[in-house]
Each structure stands twice: as C-alpha cells, then as structure tokens.
A and B are shown apart, each in its own frame.
Chain A
Amino acid sequence: MEEDQINLFRTRILERKPLRIRGGSSKDFYGGPLAGDILDTRAHAGIVSYEPTELVITARCGTPLAELESALAARRQFLACEPPRFGGATVGGAVAAGLSGPRRAAVGSLRDFVLGVRIMDGEGRVLKFGGEVMKNVAGFDVSRLMTGALGTLGLVLDVSLKVLPLPAGDASLRFEMPQDKALAALNRWAGQPLPLVASCWQDGVLTIRLSGAQAAVAAACASLGGEALAAADEFWNGLREQSAAFFAGDAPLWRLSLPSVAPPLESPGDPLIEWGGAQRWLRGDADAAQLRQAAVAAGGHATLFRGGDKTGGVFAPLQPALMEVHRRLKHSFDPYGVFNPGRLYPEF
C-alpha cells in the first residue's frame, strides 16, 4: 500500500510537468505564486516509528502535525521548535516551509531538529539522507537542505525529528515597557542563565515565557518580577498560529529576521516582536525596497510573509554567486523543473 502510493508519486513526477506539492493547504499563502498541478501528499501518512527514549519520531509527509504532536504529548514530549499548524498543516509541509514558533530563539529552529529525510527527486528516485541519531556527519547535510526549501528540491516522503521532554516548570510574565527598553531587557536576560524560552513585545507590553526545571522557573519568576499571565498557553498559541489579533485582516504581513540587538526600525505601524528581538512582524503597505534595504542594513532580511504584492518577489534577493549555487542545486535534484516552480524564487 505504501509502495503503491510511492509509485503514484513517481508516475506523476515522471510526467515531467510542473507540480505543486500540497499537504494540508495551510500555507498556500506562503512563498511565490502557486503554479502547477496539485500533488496531494495526504495519502502518504502515519507515524512510522516513535521511540521516546531515543528522542526521535519518524513520520510520513502527509501526517497531520496535530496527530504527531498528540502522539508526543501522550509520552510527555514535544516538538520544541513549535512549527505552526495554521489549521491542518502536515509534517511534510512543516519541513518544506521550515517555519518555527515562539521558542525558536531559545531552543533552535525546525531545521535544527531535523535528523533525516527520505525524498523523491525529480527523476523519481527515492533517496535517504541523515537518519534517526543525534550525531551524524556522514555525507553532506541534505536533510537540512530540504528544510525550508519549499519543496523545490524534491518531494519529502518521510522525516525523522528530534523531540524533547516537556519541561516540568512553566510560567509567563508581563511587563509594561516601551520597545527600546524591551529589546534591551531581552538581550540582557538572554545573556544570563535564565530559563527564558519565548518572548513577545507588542503595544508597550513585554510578555516572556519561562520554561524548564520547576525550581529554576520559580527562582527566575522571583528575580524578574513582573505580573503573572493567566491563559498563557492560549497567548503563545495565538502567536504560533498567528490567530492573535495582530495577524487578523488582509493588510500585508512582513516578517523581518534581524539580529536581536537591532534598534527599533522605522515603520508605518508598531511591530510585534518575537524571538528576543530577532523576529519582527509588520503590518501594512510598507515600501518593499526600503524595508528590504533597512533589514539588510541591520544585518538580516525581510520576507513578504502573507498577502501584499508578490510581483517584486517574496523572499530577499540573493547575491549572484549564491543564486548560481541555488540554480545548480535545483537543477541537480530536479532537472526538469517539476517541483513547485517559482515558489521560492521566480528564477526557478
């Protein structure tokens, strides 16, 4: 049955016509314009293996992320990088998009948790890279190259992810403070041995999440002060899933990935700041060129995350030597340009 599904994928791929790989359609908004016939991954689903004592789970691409996460929760473990579900995201889609949630600055990104993948390349070959162990330096790190490639290098069939135990202690605190003070505080605290795992600044309020050993969380709460936040899970989930009020409506949503110490950027409206200052969201019709330039000048980059005018590209342009490497990598994994054309860059 699994083999039948793999053969179906192969048949479609070998037709050499553009395909748009789709799991839960939860991120159709993300990346360049959609093109090609839909290749639905959801029939290739299910958890292949889960070994709590190995801290590893392997699942097929079409597995709903929610299903994988409930299997982990049943054993008091979780995906610490918190990839968004945006409704019905699948494991394959999460890996292709490579997005991470509120804890990212403290625990690492989804890419950091990918241990291995099985993919189908543009010639219908099934290739396996990485594995199910934490340390593995045999061959180039193709598993992590696939993460965030938006499906342009191949169809991700199965993924092995590192998982972590759920922390015993958890608390969220609020502080009233302006943006510059909040950025300074976040960078100062991140340099101290505190169990600080997530942060959000918006409209003059800084919210932080402490998570770890109970004693450490209690000690940090005592030393930092602030006001305890009720319904904390709901709050952090609102950020992870972008269901918080800030993200509502049709105004273009820009994502700025910056050094955490970058000073407040001039922008039309107030940003929402996560990741200790390293991820900043903006709403509205910003001047794309100006915004991109400001992000690069600050040491990062800007992405038109949702909505807006995509004709100028969604992701920050690459330096020519790197674009050439991208083209060559694309050509080697997908010589006939089958997978998600234009989804990452208009050039391929």
Chain B
Amino acid sequence: MVQREHSAEMAQDFAGVDRALLLADLARILPAAALLSADEDLKPYECDGLSAYRQVPLAVALPDSEAQVVAVIKACRAAGAPIVARGAGTGLSAGALPHPQGVVLSLAKLKKILHVDPVARVAVVQPGVRNLAISEAAAPLGLYYAPDPSSQIACSIGGNVAENSGGVHCLKYGLTLHNVLRVRAVTVAGDIVEFGNQALDAPGYDLLALSIGSEGMLAVVTEVTVKLVPKPEQAQVIMASFDDVMKAGEAVAAVIAAGIIPAGLEMMDKPATAAVEPYVKAGYDLNAEAILLCESDGTAEEVAEEISRMKAVLETSGATEIRVSQSEAERLRFWAGRKAAFPAAGRISPDYYCMDGTIPRKRLGEMLTAIYAMEKKYRLRCINVFHAGDGNLHPLILYDANVAGELERTEAFGAEILKLSVDLGGTITGEHGVGYEKINSMCDQFGSDELRAFHAVKRAFDPEGLLNPEKGVPTLHRCAEFGRMHVHGGQIKFPELERL
C-alpha cells in the first residue's frame, strides 16, 4: 500500500491498517505460539515499566530468529502498520507503549549469548540477553560489562541500546554508548545492517552513536557486541552525612575539583534515607539532611590513595559524619539502601513517579530547594535520589492513583522539574529516554528547527515513520498544542504554526 512520508508536522494516521490481513500474514511467518492476538494475551504487553500509560496493541510478535524479525518487519511494512520493538519491558518512559494499530515486536526470545572472547574482551549477544547475564557470563574471566542500570537483573541489552542506559558507575565507566562496539539491526526495509564493527571505529558517519539511544525509532536491534572490562581488584565506599543539602551539593563539586573521578557518587536526601532505612537497614544517618555515597575502585593501592583523598575533601566540605566501608559486606550494605530506593518508594506510597532530568552538578542544591517548594505547591511528597556525580536526578514523586486529581498533580509536578532541569542548563532525560512520557517536555528543550532535524534523521532510516511512531520526538503540531498551555516567559515557541 502507498504510505505517506513521515512528517515533522503532524502525526501519522494508521486507521487504514487491515488487522485481519496483517494477522494472516504474520501467521504465515510465526508459529502459533509466537503470535499473540487474543485480548487476554495482549494485556501483559499493554505497558512497560511505566504503568501509568497503557494501550493494547493490535498483536504481539515473538520471533526467535533474525530471519523472523526481518519477515515480521516486512509484513508490517506491507500493511503500513507501526512496529514497536520491546525488550524486557522495564523501560521507565513508556518507550515500549504499544500502538493501537501496531505490532509489538518482542525481542525476548532472542536471548543467546553467542560468544564471549576473553582475549579480545568482547561479548556478542542477542538483544534479549539480560544486562546482568553478560557480566555473569564474563565473571569467570575476571571481566564484566560496565553499565549497570538499577534494573540490570531484568533489563535487556537491546533495551539498553535503545535507551543508552546508564547506571551508578557512568561517570567513570561511561554509558551504553561508550561500551558498545557494534550493533546489528534490521531496517524498516528489511535490510540487515551493521553499525560499528569489531574494531574501535567504522568508516562513514557514526551511525552506531546515532542508533544508541534512538528508542527503537531507527532500526530493530538483533545483535550487539559489547566491550568487557577487567573487574577492579577492590572497591570501597565512603558514606558522608551533611546537615544541609546545599553543602552536600557543593561537596560533590569539590570532589571533582580535587581531580577525582569516583567510580560512583550518589546522593540521597533525608526523606529518601527515611524511606529506605526501615526497609533495608543500611545504617544510614537519619539525622542528616543528605548523605553522599562516594565509591573508589581499582587496585588495592589505588583505592587506598583515592579513599584518603576523597575523605579529606568531604571533611573540608563540612561532612558531619564519615564512614568508610570496612568490608565487602559493609560496602554492599551501604549500596543496598540506594539500590532499594525505588522499591522503598513503592512501600511507603501506593504509587510513585520517577523523574530523570540531568543538571550541571553545581546546581544540585538549587534544584533540591526548588523541589521542596514544589512539594508544597502540588501537595505531594517527593523523595530524592541522585546520580550526583553526573548530575542525573531521580526525584520520586509519591502519589495515589486512586485519589482523584493526584496523578494529574504528579504529572504537573514532574513536568515542572523537567522544565527547571532545562532552565538550569540541563536536559529532561539523562538515561530513561523520552518515550511517550516526556514527549511534551521535548518542546521545552528544543525549538522547531531542531525537532525538524530529528524528524529528518528518522526519515533517513524510516521514511514512512513506522518504527515506534509518536515516541521520542514530538510533532510540531503537538508542540504547538502543548505551547498553547505553556507559554514561556511571554514568548511563543512555535510562532510559525497556526494555533488550533
């Protein structure tokens, strides 16, 4: 069928997709068990890790080979139907939210670790392999895969590539982008392409960088070559208390100014420690307004040297209490509280909403102060955990979806945090992606020229706009509508568009 070209202006209309015909085509490609179309089977796929947004898809395809992925994509394209790739479904931005006229293309069955090379220090894996499974496979070789998003037990490497996932060790070890050498993918035309290779660079434009973090909008990943790095001999963490969040923020800057790149540098505010302590008994100082966790890893000599330098900086920065982990068990206990922040939020509140802005480090204190004011304004509680080392914030807004108006107030609260992140010189998303969730906030961060450029990039890979439509990059029409609600400082951001 003839498709209209993907446009920056208006969302595509997929009402013409012939469901029966598409299902018949898919049934010729996939065994019955790998094609879901009954309502009760579709239900588990209606949302990803962000359950506030739900939509039942037209069908779910579960290919178990690259050839089947190609065939499914070709069938969807022939039908003009949207394709929403899905990994483990742990994403936090509704990036894998189904499209009502589209097929969810689950890569969950492609879960083989194809090859681990101890000498070249790489692993070749299928997209459905769990992040942690790679490190587990590499552990006997003294190697691991560095990016460690908090969902690493469950999230898949294909999803990590789609989101450019981070974790608590990014400042020193980088994001997914810095740890992937090669991505093999299927284009919407059904071509198998490779971005990057087994070497450290590839000829032509850096399509590897472009594909990482592209939220399933440019191609569907079928294989990934990741870098493995030597496991540090040792790690030790300092837990420092502060009686003031501004001081804690300044201490973060002071550590960096001293020429130290900590393996991890995390901050939790008082409400956050109060939420996790009864749950995990990490031994946090509950009187502190904020605590920092500052980790060093490397050789025994390196760690000893770095810990003593970090300790001195934190003391000078006004830490009221400092504890250094004395054993691996204690180190893990200090971390357990930080890692349990999300479940702890779920324990003290019926629902919570996790934000993901990034700001320059030096503005952490300012942001926290603003969030405390927003708590009053929106009459909602918020607990704050930060990847302080790289300025990435995860405020968790606590709410109850069953109380009328709370979800709406939560969304407004979240949008204000994101807007402030942009105003402070940062970004609306550090590692969770835009997905469907933050699509309106993209209009705060980018003007119409940049958005047009993003749509053009998409069109270069996916001329008809079938891969994960209405995610990641808003149409200009959507921003005009959104702008009508949020006029910034008296300036209209999309003056060239007619207001409806």
How far in angstroms is the closest Cβ of chain A from B105? 19
Interface positions, chain A 112-170, Cβ under 8 Å from B, are 112, 121, 125-129, 131-142, 144-145, 147-149, 153, 164-166, 168
Cβ–Cβ contact A328 & B200, under 8 A: no
Q: If the complex has contacts A190-B121, A213-B301, A301-B202, are A138 and B453 also in contact, measured as CB distance less than 8 A?
A: no
Q: Determine if B209 and A141 form an interchain contact, defined as CB atoms under 8 angstroms apart.
A: yes
| Nearest A-chain residue to B201, judged by Cβ | A257
Tell me which residues across on chain A come within 8 A of B142, comparing CB atoms: 191-192
Q: Kindly supply a per-residue 1/0 record for chain B positions 156-199, scoring 1 wherever the CB is within 8 Å of any chain A CB and 0 otherwise.
A: 00000001101000110011011000000001010101100111
Q: Are A145 and B427 in contact (CB under 8 A)?
A: no
**CA A147 to CA B208, docked complex, whole Å:** 12
Inter-chain contacts of A257 with B (CB < 8 A): 199-202
Residues A140 and B210 in contact, CB atoms below 8 Å apart:
yes
**Does any Cβ of A come within 8 Å of B359's Cβ?**
yes
User: Does B206 touch A at the CB level, under 8 Å?
Assistant: yes
- Tell me the minimal C-beta distance from A147 to chain B in angstroms: 6
Q: Which residue of A lies closest to B390 (CB)?
A: A134
Tell me the complex Cα distance, A215–B298, Å.
Answer: 11
Q: Does A198 contact B (CB under 8 A)?
A: no
Partner of B200, one of A129, A164, A275, A326: A275
- Tally B residues with Cβ within 8 Å of A: 92
Residues of A within 8 A of B387 (CB): 135
CA A277 – CA B301 in complex, angstroms?
28
In contact, A141 and B390 (Cβ under 8 angstroms)? no
B213 touches A140 (CB 8 A): yes
Q: Which of A53, A77, A132, A215 contacts B253 (CB 8 A)?
A: A53
A204 at the interface (CB under 8 A from B): no
Do the beta carbons of A148 and B205 come within 8 Å of each other?
A: yes
Give the contacting residue for B431; candidates A54, A137, A329; CB below 8 A.
Answer: A137
Across-interface contacts of B459 in A (CB, < 8 A): 328, 332
Q: How far is the CB of A331 from chain B (nearest CB, A)?
A: 8
CB within 8 Å for A138 and B456 given contacts A164-B261, A192-B230, A216-B298: no
Query: Taking the nearest CB of chain B, how far is it from the CB of A40, in angstroms?
Result: 25
Residue of B nearest to A148 (CB): B206
Interface status of B311 (Cβ within 8 A of chain A):
no
Shortest Cβ distance from A56 into B: residue: B360
- Interface check A254, CB cutoff 8 A: no
- Kindly provide the distance from the CB of A116 to the nearest chain B CB, expressed in whole angstroms: 10
Total interface residues on A, CB under 8 Å, equals 86
What residues of B have a CB within 8 angstroms of the CB of A52 in the complex?
Answer: 256-257
CB 8 Å contact bits of B428-454 with A (1 = contact, 0 = none):
111111100010001001100110011
- A238: CB under 8 A from chain B? no
Residue of A136, A326, A332 most packed against chain B (CB within 10 A): A136
CB-defined contacts of B187 to chain A, threshold 8 Å = 321
State the CA gap A155–B262 with chains docked (Å).
36
Q: Smallest CB–CB gap between B213 and chain A, Å?
A: 5
Known interface pairs A192-B230, A332-B457; A261-B120 also in contact (CB < 8 Å): yes
- The answer to whether residues A319 and B205 also contact, given A133-B427, A325-B461 and a CB cut-off of 8 A, is no
Q: A258 and B199: CB pair below 8 A?
A: yes
Question: Is the pair A321, B233 in contact by a Cβ cutoff of 8 Å?
Answer: no
Q: Would you give the shortest CB distance from A241 to chain B, in whole angstroms? A: 19
Bound complex: CA A12 to CA B446 (Å): 26
A-B contacts besides A195-B302, A261-B119, A299-B198, 12 pairs, CB < 8 Å: A51-B362, A54-B360, A111-B206, A135-B166, A137-B431, A138-B446, A145-B207, A191-B143, A193-B299, A213-B301, A213-B306, A332-B457
Closest 4 CB pairs of A and B: A215-B301, A165-B259, A332-B456, A299-B198
Report 30 cross-chain contacts, Cβ distance below 8 Å, ordered by A residue.
Answer: A126-B449, A127-B449, A127-B450, A127-B453, A129-B450, A133-B390, A134-B392, A135-B166, A135-B387, A135-B391, A135-B427, A137-B427, A137-B429, A140-B214, A141-B212, A191-B230, A192-B230, A195-B299, A212-B302, A215-B301, A216-B305, A218-B301, A257-B202, A258-B199, A259-B120, A326-B205, A332-B453, A332-B457, A332-B459, A333-B453
Q: A residues engaging B (CB < 8 A)?
A: 51-56, 76-77, 98, 104-105, 108-109, 111-112, 121, 125-129, 131-142, 144-145, 147-149, 153, 164-166, 168, 187-188, 190-195, 212-216, 218-220, 257-261, 275, 278-279, 299-301, 303, 315-319, 321-322, 325-326, 328-329, 332-333, 344-345
